Structure 1
Amino acid sequence: MLVLVCISGNAAAEPLKVVATFSILGDLTQRVGGERIEVLELVGPEADAHVYQPTPADAKMIAQAGLVVVNGYGFEGWIDRLIRSSGYRGKIVMASAGVRSLRLRQPPGEAQDRYTHDGEIDPHAWQDLSNALRYVDNIAQALSAADPAGQGIYRANAEKYKREIVALDNEIRMSFNAIPPEQRRVVTSHDAFGYFSRAYGIGFISPVGINTDAEPSAGDVGRIIRQIRRERIRAVFMESISDPRLLERIRQESGARIGGTLYSDALSKPDGPAATYLDMMRYNARTLATALAQ
Structure 2
Amino acid sequence: MLSENTTILMANGEIKDIANVTANSYVMCADGSAARVINVTQGYQKIYNIQQKTKHRAFEGEPGRLDPRRRTVYQRLALQCTAGHKLSVRVPTKPLLEKSGRNATKYKVRWRNLQQCQTLDGRIIIIPKNHHKTFPMTVEGEFAAKRFIEEMERSKGEYFNFDIEVRDLDYLDAQLRISSCIRFGPVLTGNGVLSKFLTGRSDLVTPAVKSMAWMLGLWLGDGTTKEPEISVDSLDLPAGKANPIGCILSAAMMLKLSLNMVAAGEAVEQAVQEVLDSGVRTGDLLGSSSTSEVGDAIALAVKEALRRQSAAGLS
TM-score by length of 2: 0.26
Higher strand share: 2
Question: Over alpha carbons, which structure has the higher Rg?
Answer: 2
Between 1 and 2, higher relative CO (CA 8 Å, sep ≥ 6) is seen in 1
Higher helix share: 1
TM-score by length of 1: 0.28
